[in-house]
Structure 1
Amino acid sequence: MTDITTTPVTDETVTQQSPVQNDKVQNDKLLISVSLAVVFAVVMMLIFNPDQVQAAGKTAFAALTNTFGSFIQLFAFASVCTMLYIAVSRYGTIKLGEGQPEYSNMSWLFMFICAGLGSATMYWAFMEWAYYYNGIGLNIEGQSNEALRTSLSYVMFHWGITPWAIYGLASITMAYHFHVNRAKGLNLSSLMVSILGMKEDSTASRVMGRSLDLIFLFATFGGLILTTTVTVNTVSTGFAELFGMENTFAIKAILLALITLTFTLSSYIGIAEGLQKIAHAACGMCFVFAVFVLVLGDTGFIVDFFVNSLGLTLSNFVEMSLFTDATNDGTFNKDWTVFYWLYWFTYTPAVAIFVTRISKGRTIRQVVLGLIAGGCGGCWFFFGALTGYSVDAMVDGVVNAPALLNSATGDIAVAQLIANLPFGTILSVFYFVLMMLFLASHLDATAFTVAAVSTKNLKQGQDPTRELRVFWCVMLSLLPLAMLYINASLDTLKTAVTLTAAPFVVVLMLCMYGLKKFLSNHKFDDCSEK
């Protein structure tokens, strides 16, 4: 899934450059205490009652997706329709802030491309299609030729237009609020106060702000549990395969400790800027890796399979968006489509703030098209190359990824797929080190963001304390460590995402309402877009 590996963005409009040192910042002890208590309780339950916790999580996942799954699918589809309408309508000409854009078109688009890539993305690009081949939607029989033909198209659907439209909904609402309405704060609570017409200093607005902070923290934990656990499992399996070792919990714990130490040192001694440069370089190296796979694999098959899948994605887009399989009591849409929309929801606040910061001087139409062209296009290219190679490996009888999912794990399939490429050993080391770099930079940015949210009255230019950043570095590693210890299933990891992301549905609904409110009251004669 998407990892925001750019400069850390927070709910308090802070940066890591030129910190203000005059005013002493104060930690939000209540927010920290509640978070610590919840994390500690969950870790203890996972360690001492893993089976019961996973069973309860499975029940909760089913209850949530059965009750709200169709609504979430409708909302996601409505987000696409809203963004497309705004892009082609008169509202698309509205300029978000005065002056010229700060970044060139290519630099700006590359930032969106980077926002869609990350450590977990590198696993899903090889393996997601295999899950779908074993059991897919649209009433297609699993493990059939039609399932194989449709597998990449569903991957492209889940990483394509819809999630980037969801990002666009939150981003344009935030950008209009900040650049056009000239709001003082670039944060989620300020946006909600404006949408709901509350007084900024009222008790209601303070309670809502605190509630949003908690929702944001827990959603961040939910998203990181999946990203971190999948990444560490994949890297540990890869190194175990390379060096002929047994893939034990100890190896996974050591890897997670090394990654944690890296981003903890970054947070404490201030090398975050260097890590962010590494993260940007990692984005470029991701595409270099994809090009290697494209060239070293069966290029003709990979390109043909991608083009065919693109056609299926576009021609079946509406049906994929609204497919529920109600008559057959199927669960594919709940297990994957609803899960993915909720997973993308967890990143929307950070992405909205990030897009707002880099899009001053752009029009709404440019932002919508930029997100789809940059974010969606980048993901499709990366997935097209790696998934196409993985499918070709099964067709040629080299590595059967779907069979390995059933008999072993997806991590082993990834290791074997890379090993079977020319220069397999070199590419394997490159791939697994790249995953670790992505994860370290992402966790570093997240630790800074979470520390900023849990600091009271943090002013623009101020940093949260080093001690608080280190505290969150450790906290962000505890839940993934517990998941690794109990060898949690993918269903358990998906449950963590689903339960923590669900409250963001309300936030995004308010964004849609707020955007309509802002645009309906917009005075074109007073703005520079004319």
Structure 2
Amino acid sequence: MAPRPPRIDRTAFGVSVALIVLVCAPLALAPQAGGALVVQAYESLTERFGLIYQWATLAVTVFLVWLAFSHHGKRRLGHEDSRPDFNIFSWMAMLFCAGIGAGLLYWSTIEWVTYLDKPPFELAPNSTEAVEWAATYGIFHWGISAWALYCFPAVAIAIPYYRQHAPVLRLSTGLHALIGRDGYDRPPARIVDVLFILALVGGTGTSLGLGTPMVAACISEVLGIEQTFGLQVTILLVCVTLFAASVYLGLERGIKPLSDGSILAAIALLAFILIVGPTNFLLRSGTNSIGLMLENFIRLNTWTDPVARTGFIEDMTVFYWAWWIAYGPFMGLFVTRISRGRTVRQLILGMLVLGTLGCALFYAVLGNYSMHLDLSGALPVRDIAAQAGTETAIAQSIGFLPLGPLVLAVFALVAIVFIATTYDSASYCLAASATRNLPEGTHPARWHRLFWAVAVGVLPVTLMFIGQEGGNDQLRVIQSATLVVSLPLLVVGALMAVSLMRSLREADRESET
């Protein structure tokens, strides 16, 4: 008997859309009050739950390292004779682009400004130690711990989907050992899937809300036009159109070639900056930063700033862990979809090692380049960031390179493509989560994928609006939205851990018989 074709899950679809409208409409109608409310929620939640985010991140990292090198790491996702659907370059390109978006371009270029002026560990601002840590802390925030938060849902979903033949590809698939094959239409699984949709829309809103103003600043710098909210919305519409077309074409004809192209363009951009920029400083500072991060890895994961309470942990580390947690389920679903034929060990080490090295390369080149401009007096990057905004500081830093306008245009193009590759993947996963009966090898309907490609653009427009028109700090509003949507996923993650352990024990029993 042939399996039933995929069809829309009207309950998950309808409830998710209704909740998105209920969240966005009041914020847009009352931007000042809405922004203040979101920021207030952020401050309250980080104070109460920030430590839990740190504990969870460390626990997940340790667990995945153990799992990769245990006998479970040899298990193949799919039949034992299955081979990967994609070559290693395309697999890593799709995985990397889906996980970083334009946020990596934004933060790797400008994050050091925060740490140099307000360094961790009560260091003196602008001191030698502050400079070294300013070049290091971003690599930690985008490093092994971050990719562990991405990787855990991927493992928890991929094992039941490929090894236990779960009938659907949703976040609730990660609870397969707890709910069983007949539990996907029951309220607990439905609630989990709706939470995922809301968290992913919130997470994509964060990245689009950061990336779009940066692209607008680059275009404004190249064309000599004013950077306005209208320009940002126009750029967002271009991005939405691009990733809507890509997601319509599917994985093989859309997402894969777009990811391959964006990685090659990014490598060319980084190579150019490395060659024409302060090469010796970039190599020395990058090497020093990786060593400093590895030497202090445990301290960085467990530092809670218990005495001074400067707010550093809440403003940066907890925000990042919340961001990765909000994005983690999406990465779990997408990585599951592209990882058939790979072993559990390949999946874990590919994400933790190669993902970390890729992000470290961006920080070593872009971050150290813009920091060198400021330290050498060539361009007052920090002053520009304080007076005109971080997006303008990024644009002027890149524009300071030889062939500045051309490089700035390429930088903006890479950012747009990074945005597109992230959100076509997100749209695919949103459609999969609101689809019934999606067994291995099938895809959600094209119109359904297109709908979510458009829907993910609603929240970032709202966040940018309440940040600018409501007189709120746009970055803080974006950070706050991320934390709020990620909190329920901590509970879901704990349940997924229990389910995964049951699945692993079941696999052991099957191998013994």
Relative to the length of structure 1, the TM-score reads 0.87
Tell me the residue number matched to 2:83. Answer: 101
Distance 1:170 1:481 in 2: 28
Matched position secondary structure for 2:457: helix
Letter of the 2:51 counterpart: S
Tell me the residue number matched to 1:39. Answer: 20
Aligned residues: 505
Matched position secondary structure for 1:213: helix
1:87 aligns with 2:68: yes
Q: Report the Cα offset of residue 303 of structure 1.
A: 0.6
Q: Give 1:507's match in structure 2, choosing from 469, 476, 492.
A: 492
Q: List per-residue Cα deviations over 1:493-515 (Å, max 9, x = no partner).
A: 01111111111112222233333
Tell me the residue number matched to 2:147. Answer: 164
1:154 aligns with 2:154: no
Tell me the residue number matched to 1:518. Answer: 503
Tell me the residue number matched to 2:325. Answer: 345
1:50 aligns with 2:31: yes
Change (3 A) 1:328 1:207: same
Tell me the residue number matched to 1:67. Answer: 48
Distance 2:36 2:446 in 1: 38
Distance 2:359 2:283 in 1: 15
* Equivalent runs, 1:100-499 vs 2, <5 Å: 101-102=83-84, 103-105=86-88, 108-194=91-177, 196=178, 198-202=179-183, 206-266=186-246, 273-274=253-254, 276-458=256-438, 463-486=443-466, 487=468, 489-499=474-484
Matched position secondary structure for 2:456: helix
Q: Report the Cα offset of residue 212 of structure 1.
A: 1.5
Q: Report the Cα offset of residue 47 of structure 1.
A: 2.9
Are the counterparts in 1 of residues 109 and 394 from structure 2 also a CA contact under 8 Å?
A: yes
Letter of the 1:312 counterpart: L
Q: Unaligned regions of 5+ residues in structure 2, if any?
A: none
Q: Report the Cα offset of residue 380 of structure 1.
A: 0.9
Change (3 A) 1:183 1:475: closer
Letter of the 1:349 counterpart: P
Change (3 A) 1:387 1:281: same
Q: Report the Cα offset of residue 38 of structure 1.
A: 3.0
Distance 2:320 2:191 in 1: 24
Tell me the residue number matched to 1:7. Answer: none
Q: List per-residue Cα deviations over 1:418-466 (Å, max 9, x = no partner).
A: 1111111111111112212222343333233323322344555555445
Are the counterparts in 1 of residues 205 and 460 from structure 2 also a CA contact under 8 Å?
A: yes
Change (3 A) 1:460 1:82: closer
Q: Report the Cα offset of residue 62 of structure 1.
A: 1.4
Q: Report the Cα offset of residue 520 of structure 1.
A: 4.1
Compare 102-111 and 343-352 and name the one that shifted more: 102-111
Are the counterparts in 2 of residues 272 and 444 from structure 1 also a CA contact under 8 Å?
A: no
Are the counterparts in 2 of residues 57 and 495 from structure 1 also a CA contact under 8 Å?
A: yes
Change (3 A) 1:36 1:111: closer
Same amino acid, percent of matched pairs: 30
Q: List per-residue Cα deviations over 1:373-406 (Å, max 9, x = no partner).
A: 2111111112211111111111111223333232
Are the counterparts in 1 of residues 216 and 227 from structure 2 also a CA contact under 8 Å?
A: yes
Q: Report the Cα offset of residue 83 of structure 1.
A: 2.0
Q: List per-residue Cα deviations over 1:174-205 (Å, max 9, x = no partner).
A: 333234444444433233131x2x34335x86
Are the counterparts in 2 of residues 264 and 473 from structure 1 also a CA contact under 8 Å?
A: yes
Change (3 A) 1:115 1:297: same
Q: List per-residue Cα deviations over 1:319-365 (Å, max 9, x = no partner).
A: 11111112122211111111111111122223223433444454433
RMSD of equivalent CA atoms: 2.9
Are the counterparts in 1 of residues 136 and 293 from structure 2 also a CA contact under 8 Å?
A: yes
Are the counterparts in 1 of residues 243 and 424 from structure 2 also a CA contact under 8 Å?
A: yes
Larger fraction in helix: 2
